[in-house]
Amino acid sequence: MKKLLLAIFPFLLFSAPSFAYTKYTVLNSTSGTVDSLVFSQMASLCGTHYLDNLTPLSLTSDTNSRGACLLTDIKGTLHIDGEDIPLEYHSSGTSYGQFVIVSKCVDHKMAAKIVYADILGNYSDADTPHYG
């Protein structure tokens, strides 16, 4: 049995399809700017990803692949209407890669957050409405 496993393991290792989560993509739906978003990943081998210079009403994608690394935190600061608003997203480990920065005025003060959203429109044909 041991010899069989040793014979099969290299085949499984090199014939298995490569797997990677989607690259990080953020839609800044606000009129503010974000100098940098920092994406922290679960495993220490995965490293940290950055998205820089998110301008108002822009879609920004990471140029680097994240591989099979789960996301644990996103941190940054939204600069809007003369205010600096911290942006934070926390997870125990998610494969999500698409996010939206949203803001609104609450009691005459700006509030903002970063949330998960399917902004690239990865919908199946069953999700698409058909008009006759």
Rounded CA gap, 97 and 117, in Å?
Answer: 9
How many other CB atoms are there within 10 angstroms of residue 36's CB atom? 12
| Strand locations in the chain (E) | 25-28, 33-41, 48-54, 58-61, 71-80, 83-94, 98-106, 109-116
Residue 126 tokens read as 């069953």
Strand order in the sheet with 33-41: 48-54, 33-41, 71-80, 83-94
Q: What are the residues whose beta carbons fall under 8 Å from the beta carbon of 63, sequence distance 6 or more?
A: 23
Residue spans per domain, the chain: 25-61+70-120
Per residue in 50-68, pLDDT (tens digit) is 999 999 999 999 999 888 9
pTM above 0.85, yes or no: no
**What is the rounded CA–CA span in Å between residue 42 and residue 70?**
5
Tens-binned pLDDT, residue by residue, of the chain (132 aa): 555 444 444 444 444 445 688 899 999 999 999 999 999 999 878 889 999 999 999 999 999 988 899 999 999 999 999 999 999 999 999 999 999 999 998 888 899 999 998 877 765 555 444 444
Q: Write out the DSSP string of 4-26.
A: HHHHHHHHHHHHSPP--PPPPEE
The DSSP secondary-structure symbol of 70 reads P
Amino acid at 100: V
